[in-house]
Amino acid sequence: MKRPIAGLMALSLFVAITGYMPKASAYQVYKCNGKTIKWPSSKIPVRMRSASVSFPSGAWRNALLEAVNSWNRNPSKFSFSLTYNDSSVRRQNGQNEIWFTSDDSLLNGAPARAFLRWRCPNLTEADIVFDNRVSYTTSTSKTLLWPYGGRNRPFQTTAMHELGHASGLRHENRYYNIMGQDWDHIHANASTARAYAGEDASHGSVFLYGVRSPQRQDVAVVHWKRSGSSGEYSTHRRTQMYNSSGSLLSSFTSSGEPVYRVNKGQRVQVEFTYENNGASTQRPRVGFYISTNNLITTFDTKIADVGFTLVRNTPYTAKNSVTIPSNLTPGRYYIGAIVDNNNRIGEIHESNNATYIAIQVN
Ligand SMILES: [Zn+2]
């Protein structure tokens, strides 16, 4: 089933949108008269005001704050601040506001939209609306979420997509990224899945606003990758497993997730997407592990260890060879990847360094 994806409508009383789409670099930004549209430094942090009715104290407010905080770990000088209890929200009032609505004249069929105004080349207003009829959840419990076979659209991924627009980023369809299809741009380890900005959007934010000082570093690994594009959006799917000659291994779905069939002692290739969401090029070690559960830690059994060079540009989806231990009792296991498994990089976010793929060992 094709699901609706988050939309954007960019409006300006002063300029028309141009069709400029840079070809060589990652991310996409807005342009007016050949200039890049962004917030002037005097407006950063950009204050976003949440509506009192839509975001009373509690789960929805906390989820919105979680999305803002996740954006605020980006390596650029850009950040948001979030205020509460705005009792009068509307477009074109000079304030940046966030609210839930069922107004189809605003939503135009999208589950959420961002509205931007600018006075070339400076952004002057960003408003975000969410459709209150969408099956959003604020839960980070994986089994509730669309990307893991659940019934709910993760609110935080959609919020981060719209906040990305509010920071000056356009849709991007060439890479695994939050400005493409947002709901399966997510990091999971064990039963928790959390939204994050990701490498491409972090790179774009640095392009727009420069690197923050002191520098922030962050590397990550996820079991998602780009699968294609749908209009302006990248589409994503789970990373996969292959035999030693590169053919896809057979798999089945269990609890909404793929499980690959492997044999004891088999040499296989395991695929993950590695990201550098930080300021500087990193050369982390990446360890691969066998685990009896989907919580991947360095206490699991290491089966391979390789060196990676991760430049901040676009996410890196790679296959690595590992051998399934021949002493395993047949049954369900997980192959884990841990980036910076020797913990040499001081990171602003250490909880996105490990993820898994399920296997059924024969
Ligand atoms: Zn969008």
128 Cα to the center of ligand 1, angstroms: 10
* pLDDT reported for residue 10: 52
Distance from the alpha carbon of residue 190 to the mean position of ligand 1, in angstroms: 29
Distance 166 CA to ligand 1 centre (A): 10
Q: For residue 296, report the distance from its CA to the centre of ligand 1, in Å.
A: 32
In CATH, which superfamily holds the domain spanning 7-213? Collagenase (Catalytic Domain) (3.40.390.10)
Above pLDDT 70, what percent of the chain? Answer: 93
Distance 199 CA to ligand 1 centre (A): 17
Q: How is residue 307 annotated by DSSP?
A: E
Per the structure block, which two tokens stand in for 74?
């980006």
Residue 92 confidence (pLDDT): 94
Region 38-57 average pLDDT: 97
- Long-range pairs for 54-63: beta carbons < 8 A, 24 or more residues apart: 54/98, 54/99, 54/100, 54/130, 54/132, 55/84, 55/98, 55/99, 57/84, 59/138, 60/138, 60/155, 62/138, 63/138, 63/155, 63/156, 63/159
- The residue-averaged pLDDT of 222-238 equals 98
- Distance, CA of 49 to CA of 88 (rounded, Å): 10
Per-residue model confidence (pLDDT) at position 9: 53
Q: How far is the CA of 204 from the centre of ligand 1 (A)?
A: 15
Give CATH superfamily name and number for 235-361: Immunoglobulins (2.60.40.10)
- Average pLDDT in the chain: 94
pLDDT above 90 for 269: yes
Task: Give the distance (Å) from ligand 1 centre to CA of residue 178.
Answer: 9
Q: Is the pLDDT of residue 308 over 90?
A: yes
- Percentage of residues of the chain with pLDDT beyond 90: 93
pLDDT mean over 18-25: 44
Tell me the pLDDT band of 26, cut-offs 50, 70 and 90: confident
* C-alpha span between 192 and 283 (Å, rounded): 27
Domain ranges of the chain: 7-213, 235-361
